Structure 1
């Protein structure tokens, strides 16, 4: 067996003995036995070890899961991926590695990232590429049908100001310092993503076989809402289907996609504005879905720049001073979300909402919207839409959550 047939796992090689000992100390004797057999090439043992670790990950609330079991899950995923790789089952190997990235611990993260790069390169090497006219994810956009189904009073109040060439000094003084929204129109032209992400074939090439978590349902406040793990190619099929704007759309929302798929991360740049005030940049999140996907009215604790790479979105904003009139939930987990469904306002239950003043806009491709902390915002995709949010904290309170 040549070295080209093996996945490099230097961290696992050096940490395996200590990790297995730690797992044993927490009662994972059966896991250790299966993992040892998996390391020796037993495929069924590798599957069994991963299943044992999976059960531990779901034995109680996520925050109560012992970190050693997250690392155990990563270990099992690496063993399974290695054996799939030996069989040239590259899609299966990538799925195992992605599950390790999504659900596993941090100890073996370097090996998972390294293995993804190796498997991806080998899969492309073995595939045949043909030169065809690029297929667009979103065609040229005129006025979209979705504009007709916006919430009541949309585009009737004050619009968010659009500005080009905003200096860092002006942004800090006039917008971030005053905590007031603004659309920046000219800061994304140099991003490779501006052309690449509207190329369906490019997305399939760099991410088609990767596994991602998606949301299924109108939004996270609805009872029928759920999450699934599917391949990126399956996701692309769903959002392009004729019924993708139905009552149960599929949405890749608030996921650190760029930590998982490094090639997509290289297609974007962190806006200089995110370093204004000396705050701390938070993980980047992707928002990718069909027309009609909605993020209900809510607020976030951080400064936010929402960059619209592909497609267009309608966004409505209310200042933090109107929080009481927007009827936030009292439950701790949802207190940053409003009980008001802007698409169907119950004016008897929420009488204060109808006459409130707001800012709104249609965010076009290539534009960035600055959303200050605690500003309430509702977002609806008017087309297939691919956006990136950049969060950063205040320098004086970098650990705010």
Structure 2
């Protein structure tokens, strides 16, 4: 059933064609109340549409994310489209954008194109109805202040920058990358590879970021890191996130971090500012989702490893990165829980030497990843990352073909 909302809204062809079968599936899984509210909402009842969205939201949070039935994710997308239509009909474009973004972040893939198209139309209407406030001309995300390495070393894990530094190669050819690093699974810093990216200039401009993404809703992490008990997640607008970054002190114990989020799928305008490095096609495999990492100084990603090849592109600011080879996995004591088995129990910021007496003797590589540089991290290499300044990074993950030579 297609929504018949009066006023100026947007078309949803996938919703029109899929809603009968989706509503039938939802009914089969006990969602009779949802179907009733959705039907009333499609007939023009805004409160009923909101009630349907709340019902789907409750189903999304009824257990572990991987246990949620896919049809309830699609149900949430359906309700988000319906609520957004009601909002647009009365000129509430910011609220419509918020709801549509939630549909993208939490919903299923069946109606994704409808959501993306609705966001583009609604954002254009919202931009026409209001403008970014003046007064930030020339203001940058980063404070133009001298970087004090000696002071920063006091905040880094013990022995930082005292052992083997990651090598740096300017304008490395694909052949040399394959021969010297990819096949041997060795980290390397790739410099002079993104001088032509628009992001190098644009992402330092607060006005640009607010114009492109300010009204969009994004998921952020609040707290030291995901292994800490006080850690939590929030959904806030990008403008609010930028404000938190500007007011955050590097000594704050509860920074806000936009971490490992497919921001460029959600906001294609930002995707135009970057280029997938040619290195990511080494091995002939598959490119994974491109993720954003954006936050103030002091954000930490604890020691962990990933299953894919990774190029971490440092577009704004500086980061400290420490790496341990996959051969040291047992010594780094992974968590036993399946959800955290790729994370180490060792807190490099506060090492318990009684529990982990040999950690300080393990060899590692580390570096300060400068603005404009990329770091290649091979699969299964353990890495700890800390932002030394306000930092905006992009990670490109890719997997090689199963039959390729490691």
TM tier, shorter chain?
over 0.9
- 1:146, 1:383 within 8 Å by CA — same for their partners in 2? no
Paired with 1:28 and 1:3, the residues of 2 have a C-alpha distance of 27
Q: Distance in 2 between matches of 1:244 and 1:100?
A: 33
**Moved beyond 6 Å, runs of 4+:** 1-4
Determine whether 1:61 maps to 2:67.
no
Q: Which of 11, 17, 20 is the equivalent residue of 2:23?
A: 20
Aligned pair count reads 398
The aligned counterpart of 2:83 is 80
Selected match of 2:340 from 315, 334, 347: 334
RMSD: 1.9
State the match for 1:192 in structure 2. 198
Deviation at 1:320, TM superposition (A): 1.2
* CA contact 2:303–2:384 (8 Å) conserved in 1: yes
Task: Output the CA distance in 2 between the equivalents of 1:101 and 1:147.
Answer: 40
Q: Tell me the secondary structure at the aligned position of residue 326 of structure 1.
A: coil
Alpha-carbon distance, 1:24 to partner: 2.0
- Does residue 281 (structure 1) correspond to residue 284 (structure 2)? The answer is no
Unaligned runs of 5+ in 2: none
TM-score, normalisation: structure 2: 0.94
Q: 1:244: Cα distance to partner?
A: 5.8
Q: Pick from 238, 243, 253: which aligns with 1:237?
A: 243
Partner of 1:93: 96
**1:135 aligned to 2:176?**
no
CA distance in 1, matches of 2:168, 2:309: 18
Match of 1:311 in 2: 317
- The alpha-carbon deviation at position 132 of structure 1 amounts to 6.2
Q: Is the 8 A contact 1:245 1:290 kept in 2?
A: no
1:59 shift after superposition: 2.2
Answer yes or no: is the 8 Å Cα contact 1:12–1:108 preserved in 2: yes
1:381 aligns with 2:384: no
CA–CA distance in structure 1, aligned partners of residues 57 and 120 of structure 2: 24
Q: Structure 1 CA distance, aligned partners of 2:5 and 2:102?
A: 27
CA distance in 2, matches of 1:4, 1:362: 54
Q: Following superposition of structure 1 onto structure 2, how do residues 2-401 of structure 1 map, counting pairs within 5 Å? A: 5-128=8-131, 133-144=137-148, 145-243=151-249, 245-396=251-402
Superposition TM-score, scaled by structure 1 size: 0.95
